[in-house]
Structure 1
């Protein structure tokens, strides 16, 4: 091995090891895929070892890569801790943060502004996706932490904040629409928590409905609700001021708990600090 290891190469290597693809790693570290490939090659040359098996579907660690991953994670963690402890500027590092779009719209600007004021040297990259997809990204180590939704009754001890799901439309009551005996709904994708909650509530109330529009785009759901062609469902805090919250005869929707979920890996000081900030700030937003 020649000379000291470049921390930037270690960071890229750790991301690639967890994501399993160089294309995903390139997005995470803000470089091109060819630049990521060159960084991995430079690290392999410095170590004198092959760290990845490469194939068309991605990369996987060699035996040497698996052994080196634990060292690389420890080096990066200790580096961040040392910088945070001794620097007058506080924490350094980067965070990959995931959240459903409605939580981003309602809460993230305030969270980011207050955290950025305290820790200006921490970079936060944001991934917007429904809870089911965020869980998969966490399991694949493609994000560090995420806000996720869960039924309130299932996770009472871990809930950071409770949010109400509400029916939303362009008119203040269902009777003002000309829907007939079947209510058209604009919902998020079928694997999302709010989609399942809406369908279960309608079925429980024995109200006829049809899915007229399905998308994980909050902007798309809002646009359809504004058109008056369908009723949508979203968290109460995400409802724009020009739309109305509808009540009976539509059934009551459940409350959701918002939790912080982490990737199953060592958490950097920056990740721990951001999670602590969310716990302290989110309940009062």
Structure 2
């Protein structure tokens, strides 16, 4: 009879793998270091393999441990999903709501999260389409509710709120493609004006082109899609400007208006339609929640309700429900590296409709079906298989055939994987030597191995040398020894004053070094639970700045207990910065690619958080 793996042992194993420390794993699990170590040994005895190598420098996973880790995560996820499903009350009702993709992405997630927390027994289905079609369909009784856009003052439906409409352009520092006909001119200055729009029938599209026609400005449609994420990406990529409701503009894009020569746009109404007849109570409750939260414009100003264990986050559930609304035209594709034996990782798209399975096998259970063109994160391909684990929004969803994935290409034709890459220096700016110039960025991510070595020393943050730095080691016999921190060396920070940092070295001694050239470390990579990253420009999200490490740590705990619950299992991201002779601590989340950070910032902005995107150094 085959042996059964104990989920408690697997949970201890995953905790050690994520924290790279038996002590920190014990703190996370509420157990002693000795108890966690004993559980891991029992697991090793059960599987007959060593899963960790232990030495004086810390804990390192073996190859067998890496194989087990992927299966352990899926087993624990499935275990928690089943337990949550069995413990929750029965689903007694359902509500079907239709809405455009931009409202589903930018307005509804928090509404549904709070509604779900208050009424967990009600199942909500979201279907995305354009407003005119939704109004026609609700008249036929195919939806219970429809949240749509109409021209201001028009009849039909219940007014939820009046919303201003904005012209939106790429950020001023967005680098245009090398072959762009605009050169370095802002896209909004081109003639004819390129537009990135929703399809015909969209109310905001009609208002935008009517306003341009009214002022006699020539325009052309450069990009069209039903997906708000696709339109955001097209504008960010410099394909054109767009017009959209103010509540759907992400913080990474730039609003423009009369100062840039664009006409003011009239407001629109966000309206709620109900199916004919007497609505069941769950439908009335959801309609009231929409009026209260969207109509009261309180989204993001109250703490979201408690997160239900085992369920998909509301934003992810909407993303899956709207998967079929992406453009039906196949995206630009390059030959898949899988075809020549190189498994993909990073941002990918499906090259055909596909069934996602819970394990890397044709016999594994099907968990969902995704459409061709769906954007995913490829996490890796287990040895000896032709199946790749994929994720949406950083959350693993299962496995798909490796040959169903192609590299994600931005609409400009530049690879999306790894972000935009470093921008070229401005003309006339002096070139910096590669190994000696200190970084101009205030934060960095470092390889996991370098982080693990430094993290053996408790400290108030960690720093990395951006180039060679002359330092002084303070020996135990009161003597001093000069040495050089090499580029990429990661060390623990004890404090800083008068332009000099006090460091804790792995050997147990302390050292002094000038703060110039030291960069605060946000996180190591790869980082469990975060989207995979590739070489190239990486970004982070800065949420706040504090005068001490203790205050920063408290802010991180409050963030992960509230709007940042998706990051609660990660180590605290509190890093030091040296500014005008002062030591401060910033709090945020990283690393992301450009596209990933835009998505994450949009989600946090919906929850009322200021979101500052920062560029990261990588070593």
Q: Which residue of 2 aligns with 1:112?
A: 112
Cα distance change on mapping 1:217 and 1:252 into 2, 3 Å: same
Cα distance change on mapping 1:146 and 1:178 into 2, 3 Å: closer
Q: Which residue of 2 aligns with 1:154?
A: 154
How far apart, in 1, do the equivalents of 2:198 and 2:157 lie? 27
- 2:111 aligned counterpart, secondary structure: helix
How far apart, in 2, do the equivalents of 1:178 and 1:254 lie? 20
Q: Deviations over 1:195-242 (max 9, x none)?
A: 111111111121111111222111111111011121112211211221
- 2:107 aligned counterpart, secondary structure: helix
How far apart, in 2, do the equivalents of 1:229 and 1:100 lie? 22
How far apart, in 2, do the equivalents of 1:223 and 1:201 lie? 24
Cα distance change on mapping 1:178 and 1:157 into 2, 3 Å: closer
Q: Deviations over 1:135-158 (max 9, x none)?
A: 122122211111111112225993
Deviation at 1:178, TM superposition (A): 7.5
How far apart, in 2, do the equivalents of 1:237 and 1:120 lie? 27
1:98·1:146 contact (CA, 8 Å) conserved in 2?
yes
Cα distance change on mapping 1:90 and 1:163 into 2, 3 Å: farther
1:91·1:270 contact (CA, 8 Å) conserved in 2?
no
How far apart, in 2, do the equivalents of 1:236 and 1:192 lie? 15
Matches within 5 A, 1:50-69: none
Q: 1:251 aligns with which of 263, 280, 289?
A: 263
- 2:264 aligned counterpart, secondary structure: coil
Matches within 5 A, 1:96-175: 96-155=96-155, 158-172=158-172
1:186·1:232 contact (CA, 8 Å) conserved in 2?
yes
Q: Which residue of 2 aligns with 1:271?
A: 283
Cα distance change on mapping 1:139 and 1:179 into 2, 3 Å: same
How far apart, in 1, do the equivalents of 2:269 and 2:164 lie? 9
Q: Which residue of 2 aligns with 1:209?
A: 219
How far apart, in 2, do the equivalents of 1:157 and 1:135 lie? 9
How far apart, in 2, do the equivalents of 1:180 and 1:122 lie? 50
Q: Which residue of 1 aligns with 2:249?
A: 239
Cα distance change on mapping 1:92 and 1:253 into 2, 3 Å: same
1:98·1:143 contact (CA, 8 Å) conserved in 2?
yes
The TM-score normalised by the length of structure 1 is 0.64
How far apart, in 2, do the equivalents of 1:232 and 1:136 lie? 26
1:171·1:177 contact (CA, 8 Å) conserved in 2?
no
2:187·2:240 contact (CA, 8 Å) conserved in 1?
no
- 1:126 aligned counterpart, secondary structure: strand
1:182·1:209 contact (CA, 8 Å) conserved in 2?
yes
How far apart, in 2, do the equivalents of 1:114 and 1:238 lie? 20
Q: 2:272 aligns with which of 250, 253, 260?
A: 260
Cα distance change on mapping 1:106 and 1:178 into 2, 3 Å: closer
1:91·1:269 contact (CA, 8 Å) conserved in 2?
no
Deviation at 1:179, TM superposition (A): 5.0
The TM-score normalised by the length of structure 2 is 0.30
Q: Which residue of 2 aligns with 1:176?
A: 186
| Higher RCO, Cα 8 Å, sep 6+ | 1
Matches within 5 A, 1:37-76: none
How far apart, in 2, do the equivalents of 1:267 and 1:233 lie? 35
Identify unmatched segments of 5+ residues in structure 2: 1-88, 174-184, 300-619
1:171·1:228 contact (CA, 8 Å) conserved in 2?
no
Cα distance change on mapping 1:169 and 1:93 into 2, 3 Å: same
Identify unmatched segments of 5+ residues in structure 1: 1-88
| Structure with the greater alpha carbon radius of gyration | 2
1:172·1:246 contact (CA, 8 Å) conserved in 2?
no
Cα distance change on mapping 1:133 and 1:280 into 2, 3 Å: same
How far apart, in 2, do the equivalents of 1:210 and 1:155 lie? 31
1:145·1:261 contact (CA, 8 Å) conserved in 2?
yes
1:102·1:234 contact (CA, 8 Å) conserved in 2?
no
Q: Which residue of 2 aligns with 1:198?
A: 208
1:91·1:119 contact (CA, 8 Å) conserved in 2?
no
Q: Deviations over 1:152-192 (max 9, x none)?
A: 2225993211222111111359x733754210111111111
Asked if 1:220 corresponds to 2:230, the answer is yes
How far apart, in 2, do the equivalents of 1:200 and 1:143 lie? 31
How far apart, in 2, do the equivalents of 1:144 and 1:242 lie? 34
Root-mean-square deviation (CA, aligned residues, Å) is: 2.5
